Every structure is written in C-alpha cells, then in structure tokens.
Amino acid sequence: MDQRDLVQQQFGAQAEKYAQSPSHAFGRDLGRLIELLALRGEMRALDVATGAGHTALALAPLVREVVAVDLTPQMLSQAQALAQERNLHNVTFVEADAEALPFEDHSFDVVTCRRAPHHFTDVPRFLAEAARLLRSGGSFGLTDQTTPEYENGRNFIEMFEQLRDPSHVRALSPVQWHGAIESAGLHIAHLELQTEERDVEEYLDVAAVPPQGRAEIYRRIAAASREAAEMNGFREVNGRLRFERRRVIAIARR
C-alpha cells in the first residue's frame, strides 16, 4: 500500500483518539515549542501535519493567521471542530501533503511540524518545502520522536514503532535532524531533547494495535538485547511495562 494511503487509513480510523489524547493536547513539547518560537501578533504561521490541530490551535491566539495542513480529512475535521469549540476564527484547514505544499514561496513567518515527520517518506523534501515557504529570517519549529545515535538502540525502537503503527516510516536521531535541517538551508538556532515516560499498553491503545500485533510486539521486546531496550528506557514499574519517549525539539531560521 502507498505510504499516503497507510497514513490516511491509520489516522482516519483513530482521529477522535488523537483529538482527545492528553499527550497530544498537553504534552510538554507543545508548550516548549511555542515558548521557543517567540511569536508575535503580526505573524502568519503554517502548521504541517496538524493532526487534530493541537499545535495550530496553540499558535492561533498568538499570531495573525494560521494555516493548518494534513493529509487525513478525518483529522482535519477533528481540528476544525476543536477550533470552533475554542472560538478561534483565524485558522484555515487545507488537505495537503507535507512534501508538496500548495503555497507561495516566502509566504509564512513560521512553519511548525509536531510529532509527524516520522511518517514522511522524504524528510529532506519536506524540509525543502519548509525552507521555500519561509520568508528570510522566518522560523521553523519541530518536535518529533527521536532515536538513540547507536544502531542497536535505534533498530530496537524503530522495530517497536513500525510494529505499533504501519504508517511509521523512520525517526531521525538528533545528529541526523541537525544534518537534515542544515542541508535544507535552514540554520539551527536551538536543539534540545525532552523525554516523556509512557505506559506501553496505553501507547499501543492510541494506535489501536490488535491483540496479535501486541503479542508480537511483546515477544520482540523480550527477545531484544537488554542494552537496546535500556537505551530506550524500557522497564517494568508495578507490573506494567513503561518506556521513555524521547523527542527532539528544534528551532531553525531561514
């Protein structure tokens, strides 16, 4: 199946869960992203892969206008409903692909993308689009799950993510993100890591992993090297398996 079909199938079915997910609505990476962007009231912002709109709606009260883009119509409907609920009228919603964005060159002051690039088939193409759309001096703000630099730890967490969600393509390590952003002609102003402890079973629930998929995931975790699991913070707490979701938060200027 084409990657875009996989994304629409995965997120189309789970759109309501993402709208209600406390981690997506209130995760610390959102507040930190907004804080680091130093937004001003005259700015025009683009939020790419907006999902249920949590980032776009956090930007909206702080800027003049937000355009929110996603590939999955059901996610956009959730985002639109949330905007109405919060009485936010400066957000428009557009169905489009992060790797081919239908906007004029240099037409945004800010481009954000939160918790989505690991679903993109071609991150350099997305970054080239972000660079094209930003005016000179404009800001790119990213948060996304990241991997250990070491291959062993990286392969383990990527295996876990791909089994959980078939629309997961590839997460980049902090060093890989740094290289990719600079190669797109954007200049890193800030890069930090954040961790969020998550309950594995709850994390599988958000993606609606069926029972046989869960059994396979637990079998693969048990068979993995201790080192690889520990590098990703997998451990049992009160009989429940938990892990550390690591995220990269980056701000770059055009």
Residues lying near ligand SAM in the complex (CB under 6 A):
7, 11, 18, 24, 49-52, 54-55, 70-72, 75, 97-99, 114-116, 119-120
Do residues 246 and 146 touch, judged by C-beta distance below 8 A? yes
Closer CB to ligand SAM, 56 or 217, in the complex: 56
Closer CB to ligand SAM, 194 or 218, in the complex: 194
CB 16 to ligand SAM: min, Å:
12
Taking residue 80's Cβ as centre, other Cβ atoms within 10 Å add up to: 16
CB 36 to ligand SAM: min, Å:
15
DSSP bridge pairs for 45: 66, 110
CB 210 to ligand SAM: min, Å:
20
Do residues 135 and 17 touch, judged by C-beta distance below 8 A? no
CB 138 to ligand SAM: min, Å:
19
Taking residue 14's Cβ as centre, other Cβ atoms within 10 Å add up to: 21
Residues with Cβ within 8 Å of residue 128, at least 6 apart in sequence: 184
Q: What is the CA radius of gyration of the chain?
A: 18
Closer CB to ligand SAM, 7 or 83, in the complex: 7
Q: Where are any strands of DSSP class E within the chain?
A: 44-48, 65-70, 91-95, 108-114, 134-145, 187-199, 235-237, 240-253
Residue of minimal Cβ distance to ligand SAM: 51
Closer CB to ligand SAM, 116 or 224, in the complex: 116
CB 229 to ligand SAM: min, Å:
24
Closer CB to ligand SAM, 68 or 228, in the complex: 68
Closer CB to ligand SAM, 170 or 218, in the complex: 170
| Cβ neighbourhood burial of 176 (10 Å; 0-12, 13-18, 19+) | middle
Q: Phi then psi for 253, rounded to 5 degrees?
A: -110, 150
CB 67 to ligand SAM: min, Å:
13
